[in-house]
A and B are shown apart, each in its own frame.
Chain A
Amino acid sequence: MPLEISGLVKRYGRGADAREVVRGLDLKLQRGECFALLGPNGAGKTTTLRCALGLTEASAGHIRLCGLPVPGQAREARARVGVVPQMDSLDPDFTCAENLIVFAGYFGIHEREIRPRVPELLAFAGLEGKETARIQSLSGGMKRRLTLARALVNRPELLVLDEPTTGLDPQARHLIWERLRRLTAEGTTILLTTHFMDEAERLAHRLAILDTGRILAQGSPREVIAAHIEPQVVEVFGDWTEADSAGGSGAAAWAAAHAGALSHRCEISGETAFCYTDDAPPLLAHLARQPGLRTLHRPANLEDVFLKLTGRELRD
């Protein structure tokens, strides 16, 4: 199994200042799958990855990476893993090609062996012909893609990516998604973290939603949606006033007056009411009679689950 984590606990700080940021986490990756770890800022995603790679010591729990115990044999295990860290850490003293060659050296791969693969690795990252380009001359997206190429120098069994597409434009995100799909098709196991629900829905065979160091939901995107939320959503926004209402107006006032009877659950976020239901027609018929209100009817998605489980408040 590429990665097996059970009962992982991680505390930062000591004594009275100690803070538990991972609180009993279990995770098993199947060979060849793409697994996404979703969670708001500060949920413990990066910490979980650092523990899994043996870059920081867990406070409790068992970890096996590529079949080897961590931290005991973390170094040996990392020889078979590729990592795209959350923060770019390319070597600014080297060109693109040199970055790959020097990094391969850390795996004990000789320059003779890696140099012929450099054009292929750069092409994979959409960086054809950038061999002699300096790191400072690359855009953020190019740096991210070069980091992906760098993570592949050792032909990893498991690729770990911490927010691979944060800060990238749609073109670069689509390129990375396409490449990650290609890698899973070739048998590489992928573990990635992301804030983007569409990224997880598109890429992941399975996912886990993490918050405050605990897994709140786990399974395939479909399973998670089916298990945790009503299938239909009606978003309601616009103007609304009712003669006998208590002076309120807008979608929130409408929701206070009617949503309870017509939907299973309703949440207000800003100017919009999100009504969750198994049976949308009566609600839609009612809404059709409210001229000021506008509606958007759609199937529930992962973002709805995420917001339901982790709340709508800002983190950090």
Chain B
Amino acid sequence: MPRSEAPPIPVTAHFAPPRLSLRLVAVWRRNFLVWKKLALPSIVGNLADPVIYMLGLGYGLGLLVPEVEGVSYIAFLAGGTLAYSTMNAATFEVLYSGFSRMHVQKTWEAIMNAPIALDDIVAAELVWAASKSCLAGVAILAVIAAFGFTTSPLALAAIPVVFLTGLCFAALGLIMTALAPSYDFFMYYFTLFITPMTLLSGVFFPQGQLPDSVQAIAAALPLSHAVSLIRPLLLGHVPAQIGLHLGVLALITVLAFWLALGLTRRRLLK
């Protein structure tokens, strides 16, 4: 057929809505099978750091700070620890492991030769990172309960919140993964975003301690919403403004995933 007769194939906009299929389960399962091989070291790795900080700061500073918001400092710290360790676990997974699968090992390219689209792969990475952070979160919750820092059955309701927190930070992290030229790039994300957010989101001290001008910004950070949900649950109360906090986390997840997917399509499908 002469070229001129061929109508052009429409160029799919990179930022079109995701088209997902159930095949994404196979991609999730691939990551799960790799994790299963090293499950124990992986859980210990995700657990050790936050637990050491929690006990060290909780018992050490706890001597100087008898009570915060009506509870012992360590009980206050427990909820914050669960929230920020979930953020870290999900972020690390999509940044470092995700980049390695996308760019270094070409795992995603191999999968795209099968009947699986890039959309499924990115969605599977999102859900996988949330799952992994949730597995680590459950382990941390078990330690918190074992030490008696939470005694309420409401603490179990923190598990789905942990999963949602994992989704939210996985989606944000995937934006970085889609843009990263190399692993070094991720240092900026931690230094400029994750670390300041950890300090401003009420993990280690109540946000009321911050200067007034910073408080409004701090309250809008995604980690603040996670802390506002997880801490009360661990202390046995129903969180205030539960719908707002869940809604913001869900909205960030959707918007960040959509952006991350568009950037990843632009990177890999050009």
Contacts and interface: CB of A to CB of B under 8 A. Distances in A.
Contacts of A55: 112-113, 269
Chain B: interface size category: 20 to 34
Contacts of A9: 3
Contacts of A249: none
B26 interface: yes
B115 A89 contact: no
A7 interface: yes
A27 to B, nearest CB: 12
B113 A78 contact: yes
Nearest to A14: B270
Contacts of A83: 113
Interface in A76-97: 76, 78-79, 83, 85, 87, 89-94
Contacts of A92: 105
A71 B10 CA distance: 10
A12 B9 CA distance: 15
Contacts of A87: 106, 109
B110 interface: yes
A131 interface: no
A89 B105 CA distance: 7
A269 interface: no
Contact of A57 (B12, B27, B29, B106): B12
B114 A103 contact: yes
Interface stretch (B30-38, B184-192, B221-229): B30-38
Contact of B3 (A7, A89, A107, A154): A7
A7 B8 CA distance: 10
8 contacts: A24-B3, A56-B269, A57-B269, A61-B6, A75-B117, A106-B114, A106-B115, A151-B113
Interface of A: 6-7, 9, 12, 24, 26, 53, 55-62, 71, 75-76, 78-79, 83, 85, 87, 89-94, 98, 102-103, 105-108, 151, 154
Given A105-B30, A151-B113, 13 more contacts: A6-B6, A7-B2, A7-B5, A55-B112, A60-B3, A60-B7, A62-B1, A62-B6, A71-B12, A78-B114, A91-B30, A91-B105, A103-B114
